[in-house]
């Protein structure tokens, strides 16, 4: 099985480790992974604030990179980028039948990593360990957009040595919202602060999620508040204890 | 109406912890009650689907159902009036009142009445109107606007209400909710008997029977509409449902989604006027036809005004309804305000959401609010071109993501110069628009190389 990895623009440029951990997970389950040479972004940053022309440009470029033969699936370590492509490209290209065809073709191949592991590879459990207390933030577009709720938490609970502690505001938005956080910083901060308090109340050492964007946002506030809780992407946790196939 | 400055309003409210706390407490309480209640309604999801289907049917043949309602309502002895906009609606109501020499009116809670700003208008014409819903009554004596579509005084604490009653009504100071309610009830009781007219809104207009429904918890709507010899109901034309057979479905989803009750305490169905009890219905269009003809906005006409989307919205939970600067607040309020008061007044509002989708998830009639907000954002940017710095930022990102050479250069440059904004290995004071991020949040520095570059190196090693 061959997978073309969509690292997402944030992981690519801000936290490459998440990309490598995604590869590690996939390779562990026998998947052959390839990474495109060109950079790409799903375009949601522009789409979500109304700049649909720029969004289209990025989306088109994304399709050029990923709508290529030779791969069974496209996998990304982000619920919200997958949501953008799966749900919003049809809105964006509604007047372009040719592009829509490409969107439909690619939609059926595209998965978020945990979604891919559970739905396509039918993985029930990650045979790995992780030591530490972990709490989980359900990213909005992952939870409500893609409808993935249970699976990531099951994975976390079943990790050897991991101590999973749910937070009370698990499903409440962290206040990022893309450019929302730059347009309305005080509002965004107050939302994130509420989230941070909910995280703090769990006494966890780590907060994890399917989306780096949320984690950057939450982590940014945790850091400013001087809290020592570490934001880590879910693939970082899942891959941590796995034997590295390449070693 | 002037442009609504959402963020400015929100910031003012954020600096007032009492309001933030009051709103948060009330909304979280309603959500918890909702959760408990729907856990005991096994077919809740099917009821939502049925309600949605009934509202879709209305949109499919809106004029047909409206005509049917009017015809049947007239058979019930109701007098039908139609108002194109708020001004017309006010004139119609004034006319009805003048002809019958109305000096004093009582009213149950109605957002549509708030929408047409009837109270100051009547006041200016020498007609006093008392709000009899407790929340609305509090708002009225405080000279404020409702801060929630179903719980208008949600932003006030018990202490503030106690002070109001003491100062404005001369009640002895107490914070006991029962005492306060009793006082308001006695105060208003006299008004019902003195009033020349009663007013209400309507929750549902039933096409096949020509009757209409008002739900409430205090019995005040019942008394306002039946004790005075004249009843004027003011309602938007979108409140239509096809048949009385659909009513149970709507009643079963409305209260749980709103306050978390199984049922409201009173459900009033008005189905007959009589010689000594006139009933007038003022049907208000005020932008609703524009919505109907708009392929994206029309879905918002299905709203049954339960307020659930406000309760669950993490922004609303912080700042309450006043930030939205309009009678209609919260996620759906953004859409209604845009539709009714126009894009110039409401151009900031569609952005007042993180698109988290909690509103869509809770909405009993499954209105895809984030989808509509996205479309409104597109329209605002198309009309206004967008803010310069934001436009530049989006444009730059688009270039970086679509042009590999620029991409490489840009990020290498960023990783080189970021040192000057670093403190303790975190970026803490970025320039330009990014300063809005580092105002409250640290950011990890950029790594020198992208994942793709590192990947290539790894493969070639
Ligand atoms: S949009 Fe839905 S949730 Fe919001 S008030 Fe209307 S019916 Fe209720």
pLDDT by residue (tens digit) across B265-306?
999 999 999 999 999 999 999 999 999 999 999 999 999 999
Query: Is B363 inside any structural domain?
Result: no
Same domain, A84 and A167: no
Kindly identify which residue of chain A lies nearest to residue B433, measuring between CA atoms.
A182
Q: Which residues of A touch B455 (CB under 8 A)?
A: 19-20, 35
**Per-residue pLDDT tens digits for B392-417:** 999 999 999 999 999 999 998 888 88
Q: Pick the last residue of a domain from A80, A98, A120.
A: A120
Q: In this predicted structure, what is the pLDDT of residue B425?
A: 83
Do residues A231 and A174 touch, judged by C-beta distance below 8 A?
no
Percent of chain A surpassing pLDDT 90: 96
Q: In this predicted structure, what is the pLDDT of residue B51?
A: 98
Same domain, A133 and A115: no
- Phi and psi (nearest 5°) for B282? -100, 110
Which domain range does residue A181 map to?
129-240
Decide: B254 in ligand 1 pocket, CB within 6 A: no
Same domain, A107 and A147: no
Decide: B111 in ligand 1 pocket, CB within 6 A: no
Do residues A135 and A208 touch, judged by C-beta distance below 8 A?
yes
- B11, B380, B456: residue with CB nearest A50: B380
Q: Pick the last residue of a domain from B268, B290, B312.
A: B290
Cα angle B322, B328, B333 (rounded to 5 degrees) comes to 105
Query: Is A34 inside any structural domain?
Result: yes
Same domain, A32 and A81: yes
The CA distance from B450 to B461, in Å, is: 17
Query: Is A245 inside any structural domain?
Result: no
**Per-residue pLDDT tens digits for A181-230:** 999 999 999 999 999 999 999 999 999 999 999 999 999 999 999 999 99
Of residues B165, B135, B167, B132, the one with CA closest to residue B148: B135
Q: Does residue B315 belong to the interface with chain A, where contact is any CB pair within 8 Å?
A: yes
Same domain, B270 and B409: no
Same domain, A77 and A108: yes
Same domain, B10 and B146: yes
Give how far the C-alpha of residue A146 lies from the chain's centroid of Cα atoms, to the nearest Å. 11
Residue A245 pLDDT exceeds 70: no
Q: Pick the last residue of a domain from A55, A89, A120.
A: A120
Do residues A45 and A213 touch, judged by C-beta distance below 8 A?
no
- Phi and psi (nearest 5°) for B212? -140, 160
Query: Is A68 inside any structural domain?
Result: yes
What is the number of the ligand 1 atom nearest to the C-alpha of B308?
A: 3
Here the CATH number for the domain that contains residue B155 is 3.40.50.10420
User: What's the whole-number mean pLDDT along residues A67-80?
Assistant: 97
Q: How far is the CA of B254 from the centre of ligand 1 (A)?
A: 9
Query: Is B333 inside any structural domain?
Result: no
Q: What is the mean pLDDT of chain B?
A: 96
pTM greater than 0.95 (yes/no) = yes
Q: How far is the CA of B307 from the centre of ligand 1 (A)?
A: 6
Contact B440 A220 (CB under 8 A): yes
Query: Is A246 inside any structural domain?
Result: no
Q: Pick the last residue of a domain from B239, B267, B290.
A: B290
Same domain, A18 and A116: yes
Same domain, A74 and A135: no
Q: Which residues of A touch B391 (CB under 8 A)?
A: 51
Here the CATH number for the domain that contains residue A162 is 3.40.50.10700
Same domain, B416 and B284: no
Same domain, A113 and A19: yes
β-bridge mates for residue B427, sequence order:
B422, B443
Query: Is B306 inside any structural domain?
Result: no
The CA distance from B255 to B95, in Å, is: 35
323-362 of B, contacting A, C-beta below 8 A: 350-358, 360-361
Residue B73 pLDDT exceeds 80: yes
Q: Pick the last residue of a domain from B255, B271, B290.
A: B290
Same domain, A93 and A139: no
User: What's the whole-number mean pLDDT along residues B371-389?
Assistant: 97
Domain count within chain A = 2
Residue B429 pLDDT exceeds 90: no
Here the CATH number for the domain that contains residue A52 is 3.40.50
Decide: B313 in ligand 1 pocket, CB within 6 A: no
Do residues B210 and B69 touch, judged by C-beta distance below 8 A?
yes
User: What's the whole-number mean pLDDT along residues B68-77?
Assistant: 98
Same domain, A112 and A137: no
Which domain range does residue B429 map to?
404-460
Query: Is A46 inside any structural domain?
Result: yes
Contacts of B396 (CB under 8 A, 6+ apart): none
Query: Is A22 inside any structural domain?
Result: yes
- B319, B441, B449: residue with CB nearest A217: B441
Q: In this predicted structure, what is the pLDDT of residue B208?
A: 98
Three-state secondary structure call for residue B279: strand
Can you spell out the DSSP letters for B185-242?
HHHHHHHHHH-SEEEE--SEEETTT--EEEEESSSHHHHHHHSSSEEEEEEEGGGEES
User: What's the whole-number mean pLDDT along residues B32-43?
Assistant: 98
Domain count within chain B = 2
Residue B257 pLDDT exceeds 50: yes
Helices of type H across A67-211: 79-83, 89-92, 97-107, 113-115, 140, 151-158, 180-183, 185-200
Q: Pick the last residue of a domain from A97, A120, A143.
A: A120
Same domain, B282 and B419: no
What is the number of the ligand 1 atom nearest to the C-alpha of B305?
A: 5
Q: In this predicted structure, what is the pLDDT of residue A246?
A: 45
Same domain, A92 and A190: no
Under 8 Å CB pairs connecting chains A and B tally to 196
Query: Is B155 inside any structural domain?
Result: yes
Which strand (E) or helix (H) includes residue B426? strand B426-427
The CA distance from B109 to B221, in Å, is: 8
Decide: B256 in ligand 1 pocket, CB within 6 A: no
Same domain, A26 and A109: yes
- What is the band of A244 on the pLDDT scale with cuts at 50, 70, 90? low
**Per-residue pLDDT tens digits for B302-357:** 999 999 999 999 999 999 999 999 999 999 999 999 999 999 999 999 999 999 99
- Protein residue whose Cα sits closest to atom 4 of ligand 1: B309
Same domain, B283 and B409: no
């Amino acid at each position: 099985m061959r997978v073309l990895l969509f690292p997402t623009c944030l992981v690519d440029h801000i936290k490459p480790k998440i990309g490598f951990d995604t590869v590690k997970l996939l390779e562990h389950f026998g998947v052959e992974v390839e990474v495109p040479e060109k950079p790409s972004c799903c375009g949601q940053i522009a789409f979500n604030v109304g700049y649909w022309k720029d969004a289209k440009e990025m989306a088109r470029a994304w399709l050029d990179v990923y709508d290529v033969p030779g791969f069974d699936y496209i996998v990304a370590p982000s619920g919200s980028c997958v949501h953008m492509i799966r749900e919003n490209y049809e809105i964006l290209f509604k007047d372009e039948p040719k592009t829509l065809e490409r969107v439909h073709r690619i939609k059926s191949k595209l998965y978020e990593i945990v979604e891919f592991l559970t739905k396509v590879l039918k993985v029930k459990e990650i045979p790995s360990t992780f030591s530490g207390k972990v709490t989980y933030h359900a990213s909005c577009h992952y939870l409500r957009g893609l409808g993935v709720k249970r699976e990531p938490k099951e994975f976390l609970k079943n990790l050897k040595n991991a101590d999973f502690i749910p937070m009370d505001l698990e499903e409440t938005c962290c206040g990022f919202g893309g450019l929302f956080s730059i347009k309305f910083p005080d509002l965004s901060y107050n939302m994130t602060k509420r989230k941070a308090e909910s995280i703090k109340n769990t006494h966890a050492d780590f907060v994890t999620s399917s989306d780096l964007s949320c984690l950057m946002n939450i982590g940014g506030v945790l850091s400013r508040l001087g809290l020592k809780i570490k934001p880590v992407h879910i693939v970082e946790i899942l891959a941590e204890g796995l034997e590295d196939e390449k070693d | 109406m002037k442009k609504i400055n959402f963020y400015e309003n929100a910031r003012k409210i954020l600096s007032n912890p009492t309001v933030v706390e009051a709103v948060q407490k009330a909304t979280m309480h309603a959500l918890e009650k909702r959760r408990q209640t729907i856990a005991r309604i096994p077919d809740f999801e099917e009821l939502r689907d049925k309600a949605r289907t009934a509202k879709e049917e209305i949109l499919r043949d809106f004029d047909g159902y409206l005509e049917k309602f009017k015809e049947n309502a007239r058979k019930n002895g109701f007098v039908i009036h139609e108002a194109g906009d708020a001004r017309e609606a006010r004139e119609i109501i004034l006319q009805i009142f003048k002809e019958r020499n109305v000096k004093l009116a009582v009213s149950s809670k109605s957002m549509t009445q708030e929408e047409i700003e009837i109270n100051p208008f009547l006041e200016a014409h020498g007609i006093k109107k008392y709000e009899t819903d407790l929340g609305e009554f509090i708002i009225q004596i405080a000279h404020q606007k409702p801060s929630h579509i179903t719980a208008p005084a949600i932003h006030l604490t018990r202490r503030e209400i106690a002070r109001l009653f003491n100062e404005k009504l001369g009640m002895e100071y107490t914070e006991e909710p029962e005492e306060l309610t009793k006082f308001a009830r006695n105060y208003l009781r006299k008004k019902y008997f003195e009033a020349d007219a009663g007013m209400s809104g309507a929750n549902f207009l039933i096409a096949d029977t020509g009757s209409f429904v008002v739900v409430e918890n205090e019995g005040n709507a019942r008394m306002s509409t039946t004790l005075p010899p004249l009843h004027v109901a003011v309602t938007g034309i979108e409140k239509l449902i096809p048949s009385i057979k659909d009513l149970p479905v709507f009643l079963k989803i409305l209260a749980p989604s709103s306050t978390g009750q199984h049922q409201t305490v009173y459900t009033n169905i008005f189905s007959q006027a009589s010689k000594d009890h006139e009933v007038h219905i003022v049907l208000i269009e005020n932008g609703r036809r524009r919505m109907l003809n708009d392929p994206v906005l029309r879905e918002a006409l299905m709203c049954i005004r339960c307020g659930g989307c406000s309760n669950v919205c993490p922004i609303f939970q912080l700042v309450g309804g006043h930030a939205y600067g309009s009678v209609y607040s919260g996620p759906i309020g953004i859409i209604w305000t845009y539709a009714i008061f126009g894009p110039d007044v409401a151009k900031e509002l569609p952005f007042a959401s993180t698109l988290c989708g909690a509103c869509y998830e809770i909405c009993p009639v499954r209105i895809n609010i984030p989808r509509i907000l996205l479309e409104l954002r597109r329209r605002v940017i198309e009309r206004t071109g967008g803010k310069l710095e934001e436009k530049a930022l989006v444009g730059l990102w688009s270039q970086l993501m679509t042009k590999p050479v620029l991409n490489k250069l840009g990020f290498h440059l960023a990783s080189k110069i970021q040192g000057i904004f670093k403190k303790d290995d975190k970026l803490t004071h970025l320039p330009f628009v990014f300063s809005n991020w580092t105002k409250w949040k640290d950011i990890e520095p950029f790594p020198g190389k992208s994942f793709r570059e590192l990947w290539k190196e790894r493969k070639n090693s």
